[in-house]
Amino acid sequence: MVFQDPYFHALRRRLEATPYETFRRQFTERLHAAVAPKPRPPHLSAEEIEERERWLYKEGLDLYLPVLRIILRALRREIETGLITQGELDPEELAFATYQRALEELRLLPQLPRDRLAWLRHLARDTVHRAALAQHSLHHHPIPAASSVTALPPVPQPTIARLESALADPDLPLPDDVIDDPEARRVLDHFLDRLPERWREIYLLAALDRWSDDEIAAITGLLPDEVRAIVHATVRFLRAWIEEIATEAAESKE
């Protein structure tokens, strides 16, 4: 879903074309205005709350694209269950609502979560589900039976070769020609859906967003070596699955 979603890639390019500090400033100003101040809880000092808010406005917003990926996947699940239809909910508004809830929680939590990506993931999923339920209640869409998992259609040989080359070295990020190839993105999405969510998110942070192991470790609570081990394991699975479709393609020609 993430790799083949044109909305995600259009937004990614738009953010790349916008000075990041401008985006961050505009987003934080809107966020600060949207969350009304509340009485300070007794277990936190004013300085601790300010420090937490600074974390959200800096490191927390560095996770904007990963959070948006989580939202797009969650939207797809809600569409598949029939709660909403395509285009009914705005992913960027849901991302803003997620950060709004994060800011409200930061001002109340006894301590910051160790795995902050998992915390934001939970908020994002829950925000999407609440919005989908509210939208469904407005329009009363019929809920169809759950759809079965779709099989991967035949993959052209050039795409297989491109993916094999891109995944040859697990320490290198995905090259732009793979990210820009709709067919390669479709295959990667199909296989990434088979992985545990945490593995998928860590791999995408490394391979797509090009975060360092230290940066990923800082927001997941893992050690850098553990991050690299997950990335390597993910690439091994992806290579094995791509080898399977390459073998199937070769046998179908015989």
Residue 61 within any structural domain of the chain? yes
Domain count of the fold of the chain: 2
Q: What region, left, alpha or beta, does residue 87 occupy, with left being phi > 0 and alpha being psi -120 to 50 degrees? A: left
- Do 55 and 123 sit in the same domain of this protein? yes
User: Would the pLDDT of 140 be above 70?
Assistant: no
Mean pLDDT, residues 61-82: 90
Of 113, 139, 165, the residue that ends a domain is 139
- Do 30 and 129 sit in the same domain of this protein? yes
Residue 128 within any structural domain of the chain? yes
Entry pTM: 0.77
Residues 6+ apart with CB under 8 A from 244: none
Residue 193 within any structural domain of the chain? yes
User: Would the pLDDT of 17 be above 70?
Assistant: no
Please write the tens of the pLDDT for every residue from 198-224: 999 999 999 999 999 999 999 999 999
- Do 134 and 162 sit in the same domain of this protein? no
Banded pLDDT at 146 (limits 50, 70, 90): very low
Residue 148 within any structural domain of the chain? no
- Do 235 and 187 sit in the same domain of this protein? yes
Mean pLDDT, residues 136-161: 70
- Which domain does 113 fall in, by range? 6-139
- Do 166 and 218 sit in the same domain of this protein? yes
Please state, for a pLDDT cut of 70, what percent of the chain lies above it.
87
Mean pLDDT, residues 132-137: 87
- Do 38 and 132 sit in the same domain of this protein? yes
Tokens of 238: 């992806």
Tell me, what's the pLDDT at 23? 82
